């Protein structure tokens, strides 16, 4: 069963907004949005482009590439399409650390 791992100090968590980092070889966005912690893969469900350069307005993140929008609290696209949702990870604060259940490392080819 996967366990939480520390990813950075809580003092480095923005009061509002997202922070990009790499965990287990995966690009992740972690932050505080509308006073809630969020963590999700920095990969747009539309065409796999990075979301970190998108525009965050309220709880909605608009992808910079083709304008698709996602609610970072629910992970749903706006309007919702079940096939296009953010890949979210459990995140919490414990003591002075921000912790997440880390993503699986990328698959490597055995050829």
Residues that bind ligand FES (CB under 6 A): 44, 46-47, 49, 63, 65-68
Q: Which is nearer to ligand FES, 40 or 68 (CB)?
A: 68
- Calpha distance 17→48 (Å, rounded): 21
- Calpha distance 43→22 (Å, rounded): 12
Q: Which is nearer to ligand FES, 4 or 50 (CB)?
A: 50
21 within 8 A of 30, measured Cβ to Cβ = yes
Among all chains, which residue has been given the structure tokens 């880390």? Answer: 102
CA angle 89, 9, 19 (to 5 degrees): 55
Instruction: Quote the least distance from Cβ 90 to ligand FES, whole Å.
Output: 24
Instruction: Quote the least distance from Cβ 21 to ligand FES, whole Å.
Output: 20
Q: Which is nearer to ligand FES, 33 or 44 (CB)?
A: 44
Instruction: Quote the least distance from Cβ 68 to ligand FES, whole Å.
Output: 3
Report DSSP state, residue 16: S
Q: Which is nearer to ligand FES, 68 or 89 (CB)?
A: 68
Instruction: Quote the least distance from Cβ 44 to ligand FES, whole Å.
Output: 3
Question: How far does CA 76 lie from the centroid of its chain?
Answer: 12
């Amino acid at each position: 069963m996967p366990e939480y791992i520390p990813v950075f100090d809580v003092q480095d968590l923005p009061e509002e907004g997202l922070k990009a980092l790499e965990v287990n070889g995966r690009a992740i966005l972690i932050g505080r949005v509308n006073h809630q912690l969020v963590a999700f893969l920095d990969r747009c469900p539309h065409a796999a482009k990075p979301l970190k350069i998108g525009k965050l307005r309220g709880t909605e993140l608009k992808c910079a590439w083709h304008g698709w929008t996602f609610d970072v609290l629910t992970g749903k696209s706006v309007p919702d399409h079940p096939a296009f949702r953010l890949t979210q990870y459990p995140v919490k604060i414990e003591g002075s650390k921000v912790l997440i259940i880390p993503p699986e490392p990328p698959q490597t080819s055995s050829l």
